[in-house]
Amino acid sequence: MLLTSSFWTKYFKVYDILNIFPPYQELLDTICERLRVKRGEKILDAGCGTGNLAMKIQERGGVVTGVDFCREALMICQRKNPHIKTVLTDLTKPLPFPDNYFDKVASNNVLYTIAKEKQIDVLRELNRVLKPGGVLVISNPKKGWSILKIYSSGFKHTLVEEGLFRTIKKMLLMLAPTLQMFYYNFKIKRGRHYYFFKSGEQRSLLFEAGFQKVSDDILLYGKQAILNIAIKWFK
Ligand SMILES: C[S@@+](CC[C@H](N)C(=O)[O-])C[C@H]1O[C@@H](n2cnc3c(N)ncnc32)[C@H](O)[C@@H]1O
């Protein structure tokens, strides 16, 4: 199955339930912290979806441009926050921005949905539009990831923070959209066009795409996602 923009349009009808889900919030907050957003910086969110990460970056003072090839997602993003500039574009094509344009780039849960042979070109484009000295923070689910592990880490977190009664209430509230999320994630995992990174693989690809300094893998999202921080060095 190819993950087309119409697949994402359906998925996005339930996607934002993740905004009350602690592991997703922790993941987005960590990306923002690692970006070290400064007021007025131009920041690209590559594959912004409904804008959850873009909004957090904007709240920290970044001037965000979100790009995505799913029109419906960008409309949801615009409805939620009209200050975020959105551009409908396919990341596997040349990006409509000049060289060295953005101070920073973020991308969460996107590259794995792109065919393996195209991933390197996507990263090269992100490198091209990033200023020398600029940082890219990228995270994707790891090979063998389990949605049950992500959910159980969220459950444990809510139990400790909010107690049993509120946890049960939250789980019941999330039940219907969660079942739909499970279904879409099942489709993603069964699809032939995704590619999940083994340990160290996303890091190697970032070097290959021209980033000169890349952090070791950082495990987040119930330890089911790999985050790397990469720097485009001065020539
Ligand atoms: C799992 S969602 C992640 C959304 C968002 N980054 C987040 O953290 O919530 C994957 C996103 O990648 C986008 N996407 C996938 N392939 C793309 C492509 N070739 N060009 C642009 N966007 C793409 C999808 O439309 C979707 O919005």
Query: pLDDT digits over 28-86, tens only?
Result: 999 999 999 999 999 999 999 999 999 999 999 999 999 999 999 999 999 999 999 99
Residue 90 CA: nearest ligand 1 atom is 20
Residues 6+ apart with CB under 8 A from 32: 53, 56, 57, 60, 106
Model pTM above 0.85 = yes
The finding on whether 73 has its CB within 6 A of some atom of ligand 1 is yes
Q: Are strands 102-108 and 42-46 parallel, antiparallel or unpaired?
A: parallel
Per-residue pLDDT at 8: 83
Residues 6+ apart with CB under 8 A from 86: 48, 51, 65, 66, 67, 68, 74, 77, 78
The finding on whether 90 has its CB within 6 A of some atom of ligand 1 is yes
Per-residue pLDDT at 148: 80
Per-residue pLDDT at 1: 47
- The answer to whether residues 49 and 12 touch, using CB atoms and an 8 Å cutoff, is yes
Q: How far, in Å, from the CA of 164 to the mean position of ligand 1?
A: 34
The finding on whether 110 has its CB within 6 A of some atom of ligand 1 is yes
Q: Which residues, given as ranges, of the chain have pLDDT below 70?
A: 1-3, 191-192, 235
Q: Candidates 9, 90, 113: which one to mutate for ligand 1, based on the most atoms within 8 Å of Cβ?
A: 113
DSSP code for 224: T
Domains of the chain plus CATH, in order, are 5-231 (3.40.50.150)
